[in-house]
Chain A
Amino acid sequence: MAKEIYSKYPLIKYLRKEALPTALCPGCGGGTVLNAFANAVDGLKIDPKDLVVVSGIGCSAWIASPYFLADTLHTTHGRAIAFATGVKVGLPDKKVVVISGDGDLASIGGNHLLHAARRNIDITVILVNNMIYGMTGGQVAPTTPFGAKTTTSPYRNIEHPLNISETVAAAGASYVARWTTAHVYQLIESIKKALQVKGFSLVEVVSQCPVQFGRRNRMKEPAEMLRWFLKNSVPVSKAKKMKPEELEGKFVIGEFVNRERPEFVTELNKLIDEVQEHFGLKGE
């Protein structure tokens, strides 16, 4: 059955067939993210041979590794960006993409996220923010909304969520955008832009986890979560004019930054050139 459904899917050529069907729950936003990524790659006509996809550990980490048919590196929890850094230095002409969860990239891996943005290394990060630890059974995450219920905040979450996009923008990324899984076309366009930007780019996708998040917060159905996203999304431009109290519990969507800054691997190679020149080491 699953095979039949997949065979009708026009972008099946981008997927590793022997790894299908995916392990994601029905209605998980991860499917939307994989679809959007495949669409962006297809839209830009990127040869998958020119892609390396890296992920950490978690449900979202599985979205593209192993399912996307490219060189894929499924790493340890939190460290995907650091692994990707080594890959990018070795393969500066390839597109290096990290797709992983909010827990993976912004909690345990928060340090690597900030420093990759600071270096402005040319890696595209698609961060799937489902506001929870899905894979480990629905524990509280640094992105869980204030007041929400999870298995480790059974009464209510008393911690404030991290605003990932704003933080990464402040750290120095070249491109940062946030959408939800209810904004598929905008999401595809942003992933395309991110893939073309020379520098560190982050696309944060607020995504539904009906199984671990929705169920405990009166949104069992995936559609209920999507409606929640739509109803509470505020474009960045409008959000700028709003007071912090008004933005409480809202999803600010759109582009946060899009700018040019010297890129890390380019600078590394420039430095090597200068050093070799300086010491008279250039080949004849």
Chain B
Amino acid sequence: MIIRGDEPEQVRLIKKLYKPGNYFMQGNEAVAYGAIFAGCRFYAGYPITPSSEIAETMARELPKLGGYYLQMEDEIGSIAAMVGASWTGFKVMTATAGPGFSLMQENLGYAVMTETPLVLVDVQRSGPSTGQATKGAQGDFFQARWGTHGDHPIVAVSPTSGQDAFWETIRAFNIAEKLRTPVVVLFDGVLAHTREQIRIPDVEEVEIAYRKLPANEEEARLPFGDPHGDGVPPMPLFGHGYFTHVTGSTHKENGLRDVYTPEVHDRLVRRIHRKIEQNRDVYEKYEEHFADDAEILVVSWGVTARPALGAVLKAREEGIKAGLFVPKTVHPFPGERMKQLGKKVRAVLVAEMNLGQMILEVQRFVNDDVLLKGVNKIGGVPLTVEEILREIRGVA
């Protein structure tokens, strides 16, 4: 059984269940509905604040669509079950927060190595450790990038509002399917629990992608080959009689383990990197506001991008030439665009709810003669327009 999400029966069910229009809902619910519209019909998870409403929404809605909600015994089991289900053809998702994200890291690496599409939503909360368990934060920027071991690429997207969360979750699924890779959604506890107006579109307005399947027996026999030159192997699903072997160990194009030949490891891991590098158009996304003529550029992401926009608008009213750059796909970082913008500005302020993480990525792309400064706040309360504006004025 394979449910893609775009079969007539699924479209009929979605149309019947979710009338297009404006709803008042939480960011977490928006993530869940995004997943449903993207075709996710398998969710495995373990409850953790501030992500639990995603699981609750999926548990309530998925059975209506013929989909599966599994509450596993822990986060390790959750991502493991997702990988298993993905190899049977399901689009799969889980949601968690910092501690659960830490537990998922080993199998996130497994998903990278076995090129298994899945979506992992990390509703960032305050840490380290249990920290302020119920409060939002943006402290997992690098956990998403470097949490698992070895040389690996990763794609992570980060929504800036509840509405955005709906669409970014769909985009995360599409990237995962197109590139046969896990995708992390870096959400946060503030937006997750903020209720606001969210428009649910007609299902026909949603473009949904599906993984490439083998075109013939030959392609099916090379589950880790590159027959199309785009670095993305077609995925021979389990249960179709292909006798596919999948392992997290270094493997050849046919899937069989070879951990002794240096070239085999080199070829595999470089291809997995190349697949991400050469398909930038599939995932690269950023937003700009007044960036073209800005002298002071605010760079921000996720929840903080909203007060950052407020601050930039206010600064403009005061005659300060401020602009805003918001990476929506945060990994791989939109470095080329950052470099271009960095050449034109006098100062760059990086606003985030942590002690300075994305700023390290920004730093790689701006010259030394640009004043680079972090606008940081921790403690579970988001940065305000005033706080960011004050910093803009300070460098104006």
> Which residues of A are interface residues toward B (Cβ below 8 A)?
16, 18-19, 48-49, 52, 54, 65-66, 69-76, 78-79, 82-92, 94, 111-112, 114-115, 268, 271-272, 275-276, 279, 281, 283
Contact = CB atoms under 8 A, between A and B. Distances in A.
Nearest to A279: B64
Contact of A74 (B13, B107, B248): B248
Given A86-B44, A86-B86, A268-B68, A281 B243 contact: no
A32 to B, nearest CB: 22
B106 A76 contact: yes
Contacts of B238: 52, 71, 73, 87, 90-91, 94
B63 A86 contact: no
B81 interface: yes
Contact of B80 (A86, A276, A283): A86
Interface stretch (B71-79, B277-285, B346-354): B71-79
B1 interface: yes
Given A76-B110, A112-B77, A115-B77, A87 B84 contact: yes
Contact of A79 (B44, B66, B76): B76
Given A73-B84, A82-B78, A87-B84, 15 more contacts: A49-B241, A69-B243, A71-B239, A72-B245, A85-B80, A85-B84, A86-B80, A86-B86, A87-B87, A89-B42, A89-B70, A90-B1, A90-B90, A115-B77, A271-B63
A276 B77 CA distance: 28
B77 A281 contact: no
Interface string B223-251: 00000000000000011011111111100
Contacts of B246: 72-74
A21 to B, nearest CB: 13
Contact of A52 (B42, B86, B107, B239): B239
A110 to B, nearest CB: 10
Nearest to B1: A90
B256 interface: yes
Contact of B12 (A65, A115, A283): A283
Nearest to A275: B63
Nearest to B254: A18
A54 B88 CA distance: 13
B256 A66 contact: yes
Given A76-B80, A86-B44, A89-B85, A272 B66 contact: yes
B257 A281 contact: no
Contacts of A82: 72-73, 76-78, 80-81, 84
25 contacts: A16-B256, A18-B254, A52-B238, A66-B247, A71-B244, A73-B87, A73-B246, A74-B246, A74-B247, A74-B257, A75-B110, A82-B72, A82-B80, A86-B82, A86-B85, A87-B84, A87-B85, A94-B239, A111-B74, A115-B73, A115-B77, A276-B63, A276-B64, A281-B13, A281-B16
A72 B236 CA distance: 12
A115 B70 CA distance: 12
A85 B243 contact: no
Nearest to B90: A90
Q: How large, as a class, is the contact surface on chain B?
A: 35 or more
A203 B80 CA distance: 22
B345 to A, nearest CB: 45
B396 interface: no
B206 interface: no
B63 A16 contact: no
Q: Which 9 A-B pairs have the closest CB atoms?
A: A90-B88, A86-B84, A86-B85, A82-B80, A86-B81, A82-B77, A74-B247, A87-B84, A275-B63
Contacts of B249: 74
A85 B256 contact: no
B5 interface: no
| Interface secondary structure of B, over-half rule | mixed
A283 B73 CA distance: 34
B182 interface: no
B9 A283 contact: yes
Nearest to B106: A76
B41 to A, nearest CB: 10
B84 A76 contact: no
B12 A83 contact: no
Contacts of B86: 86
B358 interface: no
Nearest to B67: A272
B61 to A, nearest CB: 10
A159 B114 CA distance: 37
B83 interface: yes
B17 interface: yes
Contacts of B85: 86-87, 89-90
Given A86-B83, A90-B85, A276-B63, A48 B73 contact: no
Given A89-B70, A276-B63, A66 B77 contact: no
B239 A66 contact: no
A82 to B, nearest CB: 4
B89 interface: yes
Contacts of B1: 90-92
A84 B84 contact: yes
B77 A85 contact: yes
Given A75-B248, A111-B77, A86 B88 contact: yes
Most chain B CB within 10 A, of A18, A48, A74, A279, is at A74
Given A76-B110, A276-B63, A91 B88 contact: yes
Most chain B CB within 10 A, of A54, A69, A90, is at A90
Interface string B341-383: 0000000000000000000000000000000000000000000
Nearest to A85: B81
Contacts of B254: 18
Contacts of A114: 73
Contacts of B77: 79, 82, 85, 111-112, 115
Contacts of A75: 80, 83, 110, 248
